[in-house]
Structure 1
C-alpha cells in the first residue's frame, strides 16, 4: 500500500471537442514502503486520467512512473488501491477547475 505525499491536478484540453465530459490529469507522488514490490529508490509517481461526465466519474487510465527519471513501471493497482485513488481524485479534482 502507498500514501499520496503531493499531487497536482490539471484540466486537460480537448482542442477538437470530440471527447465527452472533462478529463483531469493527476500526478500523485507516492510514499511506498521499502518492502513493497512497487518501491523504487528514485521514488514513484502515479499519473491518472480522471474523467467527469454528467452523472458519473471514472479513472480512464493510470500509469506508474519513477519520479526522477519518469520511466514507466509495469505495475497495476490492486482493487483497494484503485478505490483509494478514485476517492482521492473525486475529492481533489475541483482544485484544477478553471
Structure 2
C-alpha cells in the first residue's frame, strides 16, 4: 500500500466537549493488484485522527472504493495501520 496523495482538515469542536484535537485525513492509496483491497478505480481511506497530550492515535477509518463511492467492509492489518499513523503524524509536523 502506497499513499499517493492526501488532504487533511482539522475538525473543530465548537462545544469544547472533545479533549485534544481531531483531524480528518483523506488518503489516496495505491494497492497491489493481488491484494484483496485492490479495485481498478482505486481506493481511498478516510482516517479520523486524535491528538492529545502530544500523542496521536487513529480513532476510526473507512475504506472507500472510488468509482462507486462505496464503503468497503475490510479491516486493515496492524502493519498498515502503523504505516498510516506514521504518515499522518509526519504530515501534521510539516503543517
Aligned length: 95
Calculate the TM-score normalised by the size of structure 2: 0.92
Could you tell me which runs of 5 or more consecutive residues in structure 2 were left unpaired when the two chains were aligned. none
State the SS of the aligned residue for 1:92: helix
Residue 60 of structure 2 aligns with which residue? 61
Calculate the TM-score normalised by the size of structure 1: 0.90
Residue 28 of structure 1 aligns with which residue? 27
Residue 73 of structure 1 aligns with which residue? 72
CA distance in 2, matches of 1:67, 1:74: 14
Aligned-pair CA distance for 1:93: 2.0
CA RMSD, 1 decimal: 1.3
Q: Deviations over 1:3-58 (max 9, x none)?
A: 00000011011121100100000000000111110001221000000111113210
Structure 1 segments of 4+ aligned residues over 6 angstroms from their partners: none
CA distance in 1, matches of 2:56, 2:9: 16
State the SS of the aligned residue for 2:80: helix
CA distance in 1, matches of 2:12, 2:87: 21
Residues 71 and 95 (structure 1), Cα distance of their counterparts in 2 relative to 1, 3 Å cut:
farther
CA distance in 2, matches of 1:10, 1:94: 14
